[in-house]
Structure 1
Amino acid sequence: MYAALATTFLALHFVFIAYVVVGGFLVWRWPRAFWPHLAAAAWGLAVVTIPLTCPLTVAEHWARRRAGQAVGERGFIDSYIENVIYPERYTHLAQVLVGVVVVFSYAVALAKLRHRRAERTMS
C-alpha cells in the first residue's frame, strides 16, 4: 500500500511540474486560471531559488520508508529530472527556459485579455 502511495506522490510531482511549466497557457482560455497557476509558479520558483523541501518530496520519502524502500537524500528534480531529461550542467538553462515559457504564456494571456476588453467596449 505504501509503495503505491509513494508512486502516487511521484506522479503528482510530475503533474505539478508540468502544470508549472505549461499551466500558464490555460490562462489563454480560462483567465481565472491565472491565480492558481501564479501560486504554483511562485512555489516552483521558491523551491529552486531557496533551499526548500517540497511537501510532495517529504510525503514520497515517508511512504517509501513505510514501504521498506530505499530513500535518497536528493529531491524530486535531482532524482527524476536532472540527468534523466537533461544533463545536470543544463539545470540553470532549464530553469531559465521554464521562466521564459511562463512569462511568455502570461504575456500572451495579457494581450488576449486586453483584446477581449477592447472588443467589448467597441460593441
Structure 2
Amino acid sequence: MIWRFLADVVMVVHGALLVFFLIGGFLAWRWPKLIWAHLAIVVWNIVIVLVDFGCPVTATEKYFRRRGGETPYPAGYIEHYLDGKLWPEGATPIVEKIGFAIVVISYIGFFILQRRRKAAGQAKVRGDSVGPRT
C-alpha cells in the first residue's frame, strides 16, 4: 500500500512540475529569484524533449506502481495522463511547442521587468525623481 501511495505522490509532484514549467516564468515576475529554479526545470524539459529519453520522474512513478502490484502504463506521463484528456489525442507535439512558447513569453516579460527595476533603482541612487513630489 505504501508503494501505491508513493506512486501517487510522485504523480502529483510530476504534475506540479509541469504546471511550474508553464507558469514559473510568470511567477518569477513577482519573485525574481525563482527564475533559477524555473530555468533548471526548463533545461530539464528541453533535454527530455530533444534527446527523447524517458523522464526519470515517470520511471520513479512506474517503479513504485510495480512495487505496489500495479501494471505501469506503457507510455510517458504526458501521454498517459494528459494526451486525449486535456487536449486532443496525438496533439502532444503541438502542445509542447505552445508550452515552450509560453515559457519564452514569460522570460521576455521577466527580462523587461528586470530592466525596468534596474533602471528605477539606478534613478533612486542618482537622486532622480521616480514619482510625484509631495
> Normalising TM by the smaller chain, what interval?
over 0.9
Q: 1:37 — aligned with what?
A: 38
Q: 1:115 — aligned with what?
A: 116
**In the aligned structure 1, how far is the partner of 2:56 from the partner of 2:91?**
25
Q: How does 1:63-78 map to 2 (within 5 A)?
A: 63-78=64-79
TM-score (norm 1): 0.94
**In the aligned structure 1, how far is the partner of 2:73 from the partner of 2:113?**
45
Give 1:92 deviation, angstroms: 2.1
Q: How does 1:1-123 map to 2 (within 5 A)?
A: 1-123=2-124
Identity of aligned residues (%): 31
Give 1:121 deviation, angstroms: 1.3
Indicate the larger mover: 13-22 or 67-76. 67-76
Give 1:81 deviation, angstroms: 1.1
What SS does structure 1 have at the residue aligned with 2:33? Answer: helix
Larger RCO (CA under 8 A, 6+ residues apart): 1
Structure (1 or 2) with the greater helix fraction: 1
| Aligned residue pairs, count | 123
1:89-122 alpha-carbon deviations (Å, 9 max, x no partner): 3222211111111011111111111001111111
Structure number, greater radius of gyration? 2
**In the aligned structure 1, how far is the partner of 2:111 from the partner of 2:32?**
9
- Any unmatched runs of 5+ in structure 2? 125-134
Runs of 4+ more than 2 Å apart: none
RMSD: 1.1
Code of the residue aligned with 1:24 in structure 2: it is G
1:32-56 alpha-carbon deviations (Å, 9 max, x no partner): 1111101101111221222211111
